[in-house]
Structure 1
Amino acid sequence: MVVEKEGTFEVNGHSLYTKSWLPDGPTKAKLIFIHGFSDHLGRYYNFFPSLASRGIAVHGLDQRGWGRSVRKPGDKGHTGTTAQVLADMAAFITPHLTPTPTASNSTSTSTSPPVFVMGHSMGGGQVLTLACHPDYQESVVRRVRGWLLESPFISFSPEEQPSALKVFAGRLAGRLLPQYQLKHEVMAHHLSRDPAVVQSIAEDGLMHNTGTLEGLAGLLDRTAALASGEVRPRPGGALRSLWMGHGTQDKTTWFDASKKYFDEFTGEVEDKEFRVYDGWYHQLHADGPDSEEFYREVGDWILARCEEDKPEAKPDAKPDAKPDAKL
């Protein structure tokens, strides 16, 4: 049985919707999840319950400007700058992190579940940007056991690539009217091979496909910095483990860009894995019956690292030998 809990997270005067999926038993790991563009926590089907059923507690929030964190029409897409996006994520992740070991607290981390952070699509690009950002290496990155990226937004797919003129005009307008709201329609039939999922996306009133010029410009800047390798894991090993999964037929974000990034720019990460989902679309968590395979593989990757980190069992201590008793 999985326990679901809803709540709110207060950050800089904003109240964001949160939801957790908790194991009905010992927690082996914690996963902090960041959703994608125009998405929300209610759209991940059985992914989170399946992880929780294996002892992985999942904690997520509807990001600023999205899902149930939108209280009025003017909130739609108001994510703020990239700096604001990263600060929101770091603020949400930090309370879940294990304490930094100290001389007086040297054993506290051994009994605390390791923390993993995962992002999908736009959220994947945000998570990767955070994991590579110099300002968060010690406060966040080093304290996270592993980072997972599902179909990360490193570049548009050829089907979704906007024209250079449209990008230029949008950036120019964004400087003049940063809070101006603009529709960016994501094609539902590009997201999943499952007709029922495609239909539900078209009917979901929380998926408003609206961004601000400021927010959209920030998204484009992040993808450009990732695609060029300007943003990459930093020397020193703060980013310990990285998993990236992408479908070869993704028509929203580009498989080739993710593979190129992984092959060329993740050399600083010793423990890393790129999983190819041949023929799959964008939403690996909602791409038909095959998605159970994705659930299992993500859970396996997380739990394997929990096992690796378990302290080795020490043999039972033998009692000290006693001298022979003298009569």
Structure 2
Amino acid sequence: MPTEVEGTHKIGDVSLYTKTWLPDDPPKAKLIWIHGFNDHINRYYGLFPYLASRGIATYGFDQRGWGRSSTNQSDWGLTGPTSLVVSDIASFIRTQLPSSVPVFVAGHSMGGGEVLTLASDPQYEDLMPQIRGWILESPFIAFPKGYEPSFLKVFFGRLAGKLLPHVKLYNPLPPENLTRDPAVIQSMNEDKLLHGTGTLEGLAGLLDRAAALQAGETKLNKGVRAIWLGHGTADKGVSYEASKKWFDDQTQVQDKEFKTYEGWYHQLHADLPDNRDVFSKDVADFILARCGEEGRVGGGSKL
């Protein structure tokens, strides 16, 4: 059984809730996980315990405005601009560096778009040689067909985000669009930490990050070494096709893998009880195949 450790990560006068899943033996690798919109780090079911059983330590935190980092209702959705969102992630990554074992960074949905933004920002180019690989679960690069907001809604939303950044908007994603598991849908409806509230500034930032990725304006730093991207074809939260196109466009990265999950929904880690371990194994296999001589435990080839 993994050892679970709760804590806080202090950034200025803000304390972000953190949680770590440690394997019984010294870890072979470290994984830093960034959660998605209207989510928190304790909603990843068996993924992190499974990774710990394979010797991978996972480190996560609730982002500003979400989960246990949002201590009262007035904090809900107060993520700040993209520059602050990305600097929070970079700050948390630095707590695990330097490392004697390989470090990987993962993001789900909104978190996937955030880590890609970080990996493309020249300001954080110094981190690239220290990150062995980047893992993306259903990253938000575009809305799926049939679920796109209108042009006018997006335009005026971005404009309002600049003029009235802290105005809040209740905008949850329907749980039935995210997973096929009725038990997970029920738990999402009952989870008091899933408040579904974003600010106009935060939502505008989310849209801008996705638009820049989709248009190819956000370009990965040269030091990015490896990418793994998994996406379900029946995703109703974000676009499978946009993920595949973005991935195919990253011709400068030689070590990359794209995994299609036929018929799966948005939360690959919590889609159906009889298939979510497949996703967990795919993530673990990608990580461990890139440890080799770099990890504390020998075996495997060095890629």
Q: Which TM-score band (shorter chain)?
A: over 0.9
For residues 159-213 of structure 1, what are the alpha-carbon distances to aligned partners after superposition, in whole Å with 9 as ceiling and x for unaligned?
A: 4311111111212222221111111120110000111111111111111111111
Q: Rg bigger for which structure?
A: 1
- Quote the residue 1:305 is aligned against: 290
Q: Which runs of 5+ in 1 are unaligned?
A: 100-111, 314-327
Q: Give the count of matched residue pairs.
A: 297
Structure 2 residue corresponding to 1:191, chosen from 137, 157, 178: 178
Q: Matched residues in 1 for 2:226 and 2:152: separation?
A: 38
Structure 1 residue corresponding to 2:256, chosen from 245, 269, 272: 272
Please show how residues 56-205 of structure 1 align to structure 2 within 5 Å: 56-98=56-98, 112-138=100-126, 140-205=127-192
Q: Secondary structure at the match of 2:155?
A: helix
Contact 2:36–2:112 (8 Å) recurs in 1: yes
The answer to whether the aligner puts 1:46 opposite 2:46 as a matched pair is: yes
For residues 74-98 of structure 1, what are the alpha-carbon distances to aligned partners after superposition, in whole Å with 9 as ceiling and x for unaligned?
A: 1001000000011000000012022
The answer to whether the aligner puts 1:31 opposite 2:31 as a matched pair is: yes
- Quote the residue 1:261 is aligned against: 246
Q: Matched residues in 2 for 1:88 and 1:165: separation?
A: 31
Counterparts in 2 of 1:50 and 1:166: CA distance versus 1, 3 Å: same
RMSD: 1.5
The residue type equivalent to 1:37 in the other structure is: F
Q: Which runs of 5+ in 2 are unaligned?
A: 299-303
Q: Secondary structure at the match of 2:282?
A: helix
- Quote the residue 1:14 is aligned against: 14
Q: CA deviation at 1:123?
A: 0.2
Structure 1 residue runs of 4+, over 3 Å off? 308-311
Structure 2 residue corresponding to 1:229, chosen from 216, 228, 250: 216
Q: Matched residues in 1 for 2:172 and 2:107: separation?
A: 21
Contact 2:102–2:295 (8 Å) recurs in 1: no
Q: CA deviation at 1:66?
A: 0.2
- Quote the residue 2:206 is aligned against: 219
Q: Matched residues in 2 for 1:310 and 1:282: separation?
A: 31
Q: Matched residues in 2 for 1:310 and 1:26: separation?
A: 10
Contact 1:35–1:121 (8 Å) recurs in 2: yes
Counterparts in 2 of 1:25 and 1:178: CA distance versus 1, 3 Å: same
Contact 2:6–2:20 (8 Å) recurs in 1: yes
- Quote the residue 2:301 is aligned against: none
The residue type equivalent to 2:283 in the other structure is: V
- Quote the residue 1:206 is aligned against: 193
Percent identical residues: 57
TM (normalized to structure 1)?
A: 0.88
Counterparts in 2 of 1:245 and 1:154: CA distance versus 1, 3 Å: same
Q: Matched residues in 2 for 1:175 and 1:63: separation?
A: 21
Q: Matched residues in 2 for 1:292 and 1:223: separation?
A: 28
